[in-house]
Structure 1
């Protein structure tokens, strides 16, 4: 599926759908027209991720954090999933992340819809991640968080086609299952796909480095002795002879 839900009733090209539906606010998902089909048809899904990045904008320096599952004990299923990639760059990131937090994936509740091209009847599956007001433990990082499915029972219940989305909506509550640590600002560029993206950093060193750079920038220029220009006796077209200046003394 493609991240960013395109409603089945949309008549234009998917790439021109103007509303960004990467996220679905839990508070309005049962009433919003964009999600009506997914809700009525019980088109629910689980979105898996090793982690996600969030910027703490309350920090003076807008520090990015890598958010992951607090319970870091790896499972055989997750190891198998992360070993199936053929992309060397992606595998390097996965390996680096697994070394840090163990490799268990986040399971986030989502909705999906199926947009169909009329000419070819080709289906396009898209999804959105449901979000909630953040748990108090996480609120200082961001005021919203994904709706987490914290165990196998919750996952099975969310995917149970015999239950309506209206019945299941109350089960989505802010939970204290996330952990996080500061990472480099290189994550701001999606082209960066190395283990540096998941390495823990000390934000104090970053702040200290920035402060030193600013201090050097605004520091007054050091005073230097005046230098007399060299005088050349050479005629036009001749190479000038070396002349000593006061700087040489």
Structure 2
């Protein structure tokens, strides 16, 4: 699953990694600076509307009117395209979360040790997401969820689910309104980064408190810290 992640680079770095040029995008060299992003907050979300790319602050969580529980924050790639909850979002609300890594907690006896997971070359990551479009409008708790995939090889020792991280060259097609739901499912299956592209290290347990921010949240530390 993905219940916490980091989004700390500047917009320009994310756009450069994608090779995107769009006169509707708002470029900004100032770092976003969020090292401990939690559900229930607004997150910069890349999406396409009116044939242009946009980066909007969108609520992380999704709970339609008939859903009387806490908003969901993840959707399984295997079931989201056809399930009652997420099928409409898969069809008309595909988006991408630019990120720098995510956190998972590994059980160690009676305690849990947080780990930060990131690209082996420290490149930006692009999480597949789906949500309530259009993303420039407020929809109460109908925001977005991060699409997850199974951690079949190499990462299962930390968690059995992980964000579906798209290859940069697949992002625009994933976002395009012309991409069919069936093709989007193929992209999810074929254009995701493999587990071998990631590295991870233990980080401070302070990351468990959402009020704690700063670069020290993603810095490597001893597992006993």
1:77 is aligned to none
- Report if the CA contact (8 A) 1:67-1:178 is conserved: yes
* SS state at 1:27 partner: coil
Q: Taking structure 2 as the reference length, what is the TM-score of the superposition?
A: 0.64
C-alpha separation between the residues in 2 aligned to 1:63 and 1:123?
A: 36
2:102 is aligned to 52
- Report if the CA contact (8 A) 1:6-1:113 is conserved: no
- Report if the CA contact (8 A) 1:114-1:123 is conserved: no
- Report if the CA contact (8 A) 2:63-2:69 is conserved: no
1:195 paired with 2:212, answer no
Q: Which has the higher strand share?
A: 2
Query: 1:118-157 to 2 correspondence within 5 Å?
Result: 123-124=138-139, 126-151=143-168, 153-157=169-173
1:21 paired with 2:72, answer yes
Question: What is the CA-CA distance between 1:129 and the residue it aligns to?
Answer: 0.5
1:6 is aligned to 63
Q: Taking structure 1 as the reference length, what is the TM-score of the superposition?
A: 0.58
- Report if the CA contact (8 A) 2:97-2:128 is conserved: yes
Structure number with bigger Rg = 1
2:15 is aligned to none
Extract unaligned runs of 5+ from structure 1: 73-103, 116-121, 208-249
Aligned match of 2:113 in 56, 60, 63?
63
Query: 1:62-81 to 2 correspondence within 5 Å?
Result: 62-72=112-122
**Paired residues, what number?**
160
* SS state at 1:33 partner: coil
Q: Which has the higher helix share?
A: 1
Query: 1:1-249 to 2 correspondence within 5 Å?
Result: 1-7=58-64, 10=65, 17-41=68-92, 43-57=93-107, 59-60=108-109, 61-72=111-122, 104-114=123-133, 123-124=138-139, 126-151=143-168, 153-173=169-189, 175-176=194-195, 177-203=197-223, 206=224
Question: What is the CA-CA distance between 1:168 and the residue it aligns to?
Answer: 1.8
- Report if the CA contact (8 A) 1:25-1:132 is conserved: yes
Extract unaligned runs of 5+ from structure 2: 1-57
2:19 is aligned to none
- Provide Cα deviations, 1:217-239, integer angstroms capped at 9, x if missing partner: xxxxxxxxxxxxxxxxxxxxxxx
C-alpha separation between the residues in 1 aligned to 2:163 and 2:79?
A: 15
- Report if the CA contact (8 A) 1:55-1:141 is conserved: yes
C-alpha separation between the residues in 1 aligned to 2:95 and 2:78?
A: 18
